[in-house]
Amino acid sequence: MVGKKANDRSNCKGQLALNELGVRRLSHIVRNQRSQTLAQINTQLNQGASRTVSKRTVQRSLHRMGFGSRRPTRIPLLNARHWAARLAWAREHREWTRTDE
């Protein structure tokens, strides 16, 4: 296997588990519901499919499409004191223009 890539399918005669339509469907599922887990995506993809696909195949396909897992950013919520301070600042600076900076 010198000089060949491990994922080179040129000599492989087997059928892909996910065809072009399956890849498009997978992309559609992921784009519409970004917070789903791999197991949920796999279940949804296999519903009504003539051929089931393993979670590992789905994971590889998602990686090839450029999708990866991300943790959502945490944004601290404003409490009543923060809200009041922001409102007071906005009222004090209501008349500001670009030249006042």
Q: Please write the tens of the pLDDT for every residue from 52-91.
A: 899 999 999 999 999 888 787 888 888 999 999 999 999 9
- Which pTM value belongs to this model? 0.56
Better-predicted residue by pLDDT, 4 or 32: 32
Between CA 43 and CA 39, with CA 7 as vertex, the angle to 5 degrees is 15
C-alpha distance from residue 22 to each of 8, 69, 71, 74 (Å): 20, 20, 26, 34
Helix (H, G, I), strand (E, B) or coil at 80: helix
Between CA 70 and CA 15, with CA 26 as vertex, the angle to 5 degrees is 125
| pLDDT score, position 7 | 62
Between CA 50 and CA 18, with CA 11 as vertex, the angle to 5 degrees is 20
| pLDDT tens-digit readout, 28-48 | 999 998 889 999 999 999 997
